[in-house]
Structure 1
């Protein structure tokens, strides 16, 4: 195996480890509805976070852009492949933590996601892949365009589903009744 190929093998291994861990942790492989859709656009449904993509996919693309920016200072010392491997490991770790009983209960207790039961394995793997896409996107775009993508995705998801990466983080860490009421349409 060449030195330049190693980080990409680590990325693939990270996907495999995440899938195996999620299955071991009791996550369903695919939606219990019995099929896989490319897109599921209903956030208040039992199929949310069960298919390949949904309204939370943009937040995972943003993870990739933000991880690229966070790892940029190390670009001269660590090649792109290794930075991608690090970002993929962090995203996979988040998917494992996000689908733990503790975080699922936290979502249900402090957000409007009362019927959230975690992601299917296929959705988690697609979320990690969305992060990889965001990482590559950040590599290709100028900084100003990456910032526009971040602002655009956040504005779009806040407008359409009253949620997004920033609100998701805020509500997990410091839930506010006013935001929860706004998200619920009250």
Structure 2
């Protein structure tokens, strides 16, 4: 079975896309770092001013899982469907970084920030710092790398563990975020609120 092994050109292009995303976010007026004035490796509260402002938080597993999902998508496109011919598989990481970068930019538009506030557990969400967005792209790349290196069953197990732990600790995760952003369910909102999340 083929794998999505990037080469030097793909790695350089991926880095260029990530840098472009950072520049776009700065041009959008996003704060470079937390407006608190310092940088933390981990921030464990999801509904305060430090959420999505530092290097890692309870949404980091979601971005790692993005990388796993994007790896699967790239494998399906470049290996299974044969897009890009014989050497197409090297471009999987480029697709992944482009998708994650696009999401980081979209996520920080006022429209999406307001949507997060209205229907998800992140009622105090004010958008990401540029540092956090850059870190999220990095965490996604880490998830992609894990999917490249690990057996499929181990990758799936890690994704499920990440989702389960986040749901148990903060009553939120990638699955719940997607559901609530697209099709808000009152029962989920009530469950999150009962845990002090909302």
TM range (shorter): over 0.9
Structure 1 residue 67 corresponds to structure 2 residue 73:
no
**1:4 Cα deviation after fit:** 3.7
Find 1:147's aligned residue among 156, 162, 174: 156
User: Which residue among 28, 35, 40 is the counterpart of 2:38?
Assistant: 35
Point out the more displaced range, 169-178 or 110-119: 110-119
Matched, 1:120 2:129: yes
Q: Give the structure-1-normalised TM-score.
A: 0.95
Instruction: Report the secondary structure of 1:42's partner residue.
Output: coil
Q: After TM superposition, what 4+ stretches of structure 1 lie above 6 angstroms from structure 2?
A: none
CA offset digits 1:81-109 (Å, max 9, x no partner): 41101100000000000111100000111
Q: Secondary structure at the match of 1:184?
A: helix
Total equivalences in the alignment: 184
Please tell me whether residue 11 in structure 1 is matched to residue 20 in structure 2: no
Distance 1:4 1:138, change over 3 A: closer
Matches within 5 A, 1:32-181: 32-73=35-76, 74-75=78-79, 77=85, 78-181=87-190
Residues 47, 123 of structure 2: 8 Å contact kept: no
Offset of 1:80 from its aligned partner?
A: 4.5
Q: Deviations over 1:7-56 (max 9, x none)?
A: 11111111111111001111100000101111101112110000000000
TM-score, normalization: structure 2? 0.89
Q: CA RMSD in A?
A: 1.4
- Quote the Cα distance in structure 2 between the aligned partners of 1:97 and 1:120: 14
What is the Cα deviation at residue 177 of structure 1?
Answer: 1.0
Structure 2 gaps of 5+ residues are: 1-5
In structure 1, distance between residues paired with 2:154 and 2:19: 32
Verify the 8 A CA contact 2:68 2:155 in the aligned structure 1.
yes
